[in-house]
Amino acid sequence: MPDLIQQVFVKEGVTLDVLRLDKLNALAPGNKWFKLVLNLAAARAAGAQTILSFGGAFSNHLHAMAAIARSQGLAAVACVRADAEQALTPTLQDVVAWGVDLHFLSRSEYRRRHDPSFVAEILSQYKQPYLIPEGGANVLGAQGCGEVAALIPEGGREYDVVALACGTGTTLAGLSARLADGVKLLGIPVLKAEAYMAADIQRMQLALGHHRRNWTLDHRFHGGGYARLSADLRDFILAFEARRGIPLDPVYTAKMMYAVTSMIDKCEFPAGFRVLAIHTGGLQGRRGYPELITALPATGSGQ
């Protein structure tokens, strides 16, 4: 296994390290493997012949699901929020090349992805299907994400704060159960989620059988909404990569890293604090941002 933790910098008396999950599991890098592994085991145990899930045209989740399905000989269906008349994105080109069927949904149809009757209608079209929720956001996905703690020395005990980006809160919910006592888990939502994300995380924790409140959410850094790339964030990504040699995805990890470095610059962490940022992968999604299609840095000095 490669060395997954590297130092980013020491600044204002605060040490920032990064856990490079993007270096793990080439088929499903980042947190995607952790969200999928128990769901796929459950699908096999149920005798499923087809796995089905939802996502957008640049979905990291669908991309990972397709790659793993191909490697395990499973049929798969990607229910995609996209127009069948338009050219396939690079992500969907990969998915199709790996033998996954595309089921296109309009925006209005996609909004019904949590409607049981609508989902049942789609599932009825496929042989012995097994549904994995969008983004792997269910109890099995969260439980799998708890295994990330095993990659952090002593469950994170040598850190004061562990930070990660949040889309659904699934990874945070699972990780919160497994971190060492006394470690604060800081979630950076990448979309406008003040109204619901905390409650969603608490519901998932309840389903997992734990109630630890070792986490907080900081909603200041969503940048205007999901997958939005401001000029400031674009400039941060390019400067960070040039200096640190660590590639960032614009949807998740870049917003989290921008948040953490901004907080350090503003002295929001006390001197002497050690912060671990979790890189949750998603680099294939950069292909949706022409302004970021540049050579990715291969290694970083961490200095």
The residue ranges of every structural domain in the chain are 5-27+139-292, 32-136
Fold (CATH) for 5-27+139-292: Rossmann fold (3.40.50)
Q: What is the pLDDT of residue 52?
A: 98
Phi, then psi, of 116 in degrees rounded to 5: -55, -40
Are residues 296 and 246 in contact, defined by beta-carbon separation less than 8 angstroms?
no
Task: Say which DSSP state 59 is in.
Answer: -
| Per-residue confidence in pLDDT tens, the chain, 303 aa | 458 999 999 999 999 999 999 999 999 999 999 999 999 999 999 999 999 999 999 999 999 999 999 999 999 999 999 999 889 999 999 999 999 999 999 999 999 999 999 999 999 999 999 999 999 999 999 999 999 999 999 999 999 999 999 999 999 999 999 999 999 999 999 999 999 999 999 999 999 998 899 999 999 999 999 999 999 999 999 999 999 999 999 999 999 999 999 999 999 999 999 999 999 999 999 999 988 876 566 544 333
Query: Is-contact 219 193, C-beta < 8 A?
Result: yes
Using alpha carbons, select from 209, 205, 168 the residue that is nearest to residue 190: 168
- Pairing status of strand 129-131 against strand 101-105: unpaired
Question: Quick one: residue 156, left, alpha or beta (phi over 0 = left, psi -120 to 50 = alpha)?
Answer: left
Note the pLDDT of residue 231.
Answer: 95
32-136 matches 5-27+139-292 in CATH topology: yes
Domain covering 32-136: architecture: 3-Layer(aba) Sandwich (3.40)
